[in-house]
Amino acid sequence: MPTILGQNQYGKAENRVVKITRDGATHHIKDLNVSVALSGDMDEVHYSGSNAHVLPTDTTKNTVYAFAKEHGIESAEQFGIHLARHFVTSQEPIRTARIRIEEYAWERIEASDANSQFIGADEVKHSFVRKGQETRLTQITYDGEKWEVVSGLKDLVVMNSTNSEFWGYVKDKYTTLQEAYDRILATQVSGRWRFNWTDDEQRMPNWEKSYEQTRKHMLHAFAETYSLSLQQTLYQMGSRIINNRSEIDEVRFSLPNKHHFLVDLEPFGLKNDNEVYFAADRPYGLIEATILRDGCEAKIPVDLTNL
């Protein structure tokens, strides 16, 4: 049966690069995991094995490290833009470059008063601890004319210990869940947001400020929404971002409901007044949705693991 080649790409995945910027005695860290995927005129390498149009994946790896030195890493987005532009404009067979980046945050260790006599100020400025709150993400795609930048985060665990209810739902003969008028609402946020910056003629967003403010609005919406469902909270989180960040047109969330069930303490002669819970890790409800600026088209994949 005749066959033809379909969509394809190649590159070097998970290039771990740590860039330390030394500002005198004060050091700053950018810790990235960079994956490069290139596509274009690559038919012959598949059909005949000719590598005439193939930039080695080892070269893409070396480029990541060289660019960290040559261009620095101002932000994950800016670094990805430098890489994508380089691959598309420097190699004629390459038509599209997709750069995916995970960023791991570090925070400075502050000397305690008790130890200040032993730890000098200069030393404190280059001691860090990995933040465990979330992993920052970005994907940059460039085809030589237009950019698509989608950023986000994963593994951000949040909880409201009250101001959440769940009742009035459909019940059938298999329903055993009791209605809740005061419950814990917890989730592990996986979110992506798409910027409306698409070409070099537009003003480029301030990527660092945008991430900081987007995360802030997301968390404030989670904390301030009196929730009757996780779906309602999700929508408020996305709407708060869209309404406050003009550079973002689309937000997609995947929120696993980290269930906390009241423990039955009656067998022990104890009353559980919304105090003791069993934290169940599985199975879990999974709530997913996209929130769009009015008039915009959804482009972020439904399955966020493919981004």
Residue 22 annotated as lining a ligand binding site = no
Q: How far apart are CA 100 and CA 138, in angstroms?
A: 6
53 is catalytic: no
What is the β-pairing status of strands 26-40 and 94-104?
antiparallel
259 is catalytic: yes
* 62: Cα separation from own chain's centroid: 25
Runs of H (alpha helix) within the chain:
43-47, 57-70, 76-90, 121-124, 207-224, 230-244
- Tokens found for residue 111: 């000397």
- Cβ–Cβ under 8 Å, residues 230 and 285: yes
Residue 306 annotated as lining a ligand binding site = no
- Cβ–Cβ under 8 Å, residues 215 and 237: no
Q: Which of 19, 27, 53, 57 is catalytic?
A: 57
Q: Which of 12, 30, 86, 258 is catalytic?
A: 12
What is the maximal distance between C-alpha atoms in the chain?
78
Q: Which of 82, 86, 217, 259 is catalytic?
A: 259
**Alpha carbon separation from 117 to 27, 124, 128, 249 (Å, rounded):** 21, 12, 19, 51
Residue 155 annotated as lining a ligand binding site = no
217 is catalytic: no
Residue 51 annotated as lining a ligand binding site = no
Instruction: Please name the residues in contact with 176: beta carbons below 8 A apart, sequence gap of 6 or more.
Output: none
Residue 138 annotated as lining a ligand binding site = no
Residue 257 annotated as lining a ligand binding site = yes
DSSP 247: T
Spatial CA neighbour of 53 closest among 84, 3, 8, 98 = 8
- Tokens found for residue 281: 């890790």
The catalytic residue positions are 12, 57, 259
| Binding site, annotated residues for O2 | 57, 257
| Binding site, annotated residues for urate | 57-58, 166, 183, 231, 257
